[in-house]
Structure 1
Amino acid sequence: MNAGKAMRPSAAYRSLKTRLMAGEFRAGEKLRPDMLKDAYGISASAMREVFLRLAHESLLVQEEQRGFRVPAASRRRLAELMNLRILLECEGVRQAIREGDLEWEARLAAAHHKLVHIERKMRSAPDIAPFVPLWTRIDWEFHDTLLSACPSEVLRATHRNIYEQFRQQVVAGLEHAGFREETIPEHAAILKAAIERDVPACQAAIHAHLQVSRDEAGERLKSA
């Protein structure tokens, strides 16, 4: 970021959230509002409010008398978030398939098209790190669109927060930020089942797509 460029606190919040989800800061790293205020062009007090908001969403950890830090990478935490995300996404897609119309199908297909485009580039790239922030955003767009026809606003809001925490853990703890060769056909299977209005197949595809994180995490992360 360019130091000194003024930014609204709401924009600073969105930017810092994106950076946290993309793994720009190390897991467990301590962060202070005065470290980032100049980069965002806002006061230390406004930056602290941004930190507090992110801590409320569990994307930062607030430690009494010790400031803030990025959550540590944890096999247990990743597994818990994965299981909760599967529950929310499977119930959300059940309702979305029931309620979704042709417009929902078109938006989902468009979101998947963008996701395939970026994932194919990642598959052939010698280093995927530059793609991770964009991939994180487009992956979210696909899964959010998948659930967008679900009438429960509470479910969708909860799913978003769990998704964000899950992605932060994945990027911090898994090789290649969680991207695998199989990621592309897994997303295609979710799309196919959703368009065909096959709830069990779509739920099974979601489960298969996400549970891989548990297996990889078992090899790379220690219990916490």
Structure 2
Amino acid sequence: MRPSAIYRAVKARLMAGEFKAGEKLRPDMLKDAYGISASAMREIFLRLAHENLLTQEEQKGFHVPFANEKQLTDMMNLRILLECEGAKESILNGDLEWEARLAAAHHKLVHIERKMKAAADIAPIVPIWTRIDWEFHETLLLACPSDVLRATHRNIYEQYRQQVVAGLKSAGFRPETTSEHAAILKAAIERDIPACQSAIHTHLQTYRGDVGERLKSA
């Protein structure tokens, strides 16, 4: 695998909670699995630490971040701001192709969320759901002309998802999640900016208020 592909693979595992919060990751732990040198894996870890998906302490190496109430709340607030603004710009600038891609991404999301609702244990599905959930939210902002906004939104989304997966046993999935995604899609397709932004708020503010208690009991 190329370093870029390995970087994406390790990032996906971090976002899906495949490594435990607080777990120490050493380059030599993963180098054989991906067929690269320890130094090359360290470079990937450094990149992930720069994106705040790993923590690095001098003489202590790399660790998976712990769930933190303040961090999750900060990421939630930032994500709301970025996603609402990005959705507005996408609605103003998106064409029929954008609508079709958004509808297709939502179709995949509905399919995987039905499986999660029916599953006795959602843990094996969380990595797939995380990827498809990102695809939907990424597509929502795809017609936003600001590359900086979209890149910033991606990093905030990744940190947010990692915090949610680490801190909440549900990994952030609730029965209402499916209808919330449907409301976002409907408003976006109808080009109703206030309704879309309201739906985003409703979807992302779920953890406000009780997130502290959830993290304490996790």
Shared fold per TM-score greater than 0.5: yes
Give the CA deviation at 1:215.
Answer: 3.5
Question: Which digits, 9 at most, give the CA deviation of each residue in 1:105-152, with x for residues without a partner?
Answer: 111000000000000110011111111010000000000000000000
- Pick from 123, 132, 138: which aligns with 1:138? 132
CA RMSD of aligned residues (A): 0.8
CA distance in 2 between partners of 1:153 and 1:208 (Å):
25
Identity of aligned residues (%): 79
Q: How far 1:65 moved relative to its partner? A: 1.4
Write the distance in 1 (CA, Å) between the matches of 2:23 and 2:14: 11
Residue number in structure 2 paired with 1:184: 178
1:220 alignment partner, SS class: helix
What TM-score do you get using the length of structure 1 for normalisation? 0.95
Aligned counterpart in structure 2 of residue 92 of structure 1, from 82, 86, 94: 86
Matches within 5 A, 1:128-167: 128-167=122-161
| Equivalent-residue separation in structure 2 for 1:15 and 1:152 (angstroms) | 26
Structure 1 residue 175: Cα displacement: 2.3
Q: Which residue of 2 aligns with 1:36?
A: 30
8 Å CA contact retained: 1:59, 1:70: yes
Partner of 1:11: 5
- Shift of residue 101, structure 1, vs aligned partner: 0.7
Question: Which 5+ residue runs of structure 2 have no aligned equivalent?
Answer: none
User: CA separation in 1, counterparts of 2:55 and 2:110?
Assistant: 34
Q: Which amino acid aligns with 1:101?
A: D
Aligned to 1:4: none
Aligned to 1:112: 106
Q: Secondary structure at the match of 1:181?
A: coil
Native 8 Å contact 1:186 1:205 kept in 2:
yes
Q: Which structure 1 residue ranges, 5 or more long, are not aligned?
A: 1-6
- State the aligned residue count: 216
Contact 1:81 1:165 in 2 (8 A): yes
3-state secondary structure, aligned to 1:81: helix
Structure 1 residue 168 displacement after superposition = 0.3
- Supply the distance in 2 between the matched residues of 1:215 and 1:135 (Cα, whole angstroms): 25
| Amino acid in the other structure paired with 2:59 | Q
Letter in 2 for 1:44: A
User: 2:62 corresponds to which residue?
Assistant: 68
Measured in 1, the distance between the counterparts of 2:113 and 2:212 equals: 24
Shift of 1:216: 4.1
Q: How far is 1:214 from its partner?
A: 2.4
Q: Give the alignment's TM-score, normalised by structure 2.
A: 0.97
Matched residue, 1:173? 167
Query: Is this contact kept in 2: 1:78–1:214, CA < 8 A?
Result: no
* Residue matched to 2:18: 24
3-state SS of the aligned residue for 1:197?
A: coil
Runs of 4+ displaced beyond 4 Å: none
Structure 2 counterpart of 1:48, from 37, 42, 47: 42
* Contact preservation (8 Å) 1:174, 1:216: no
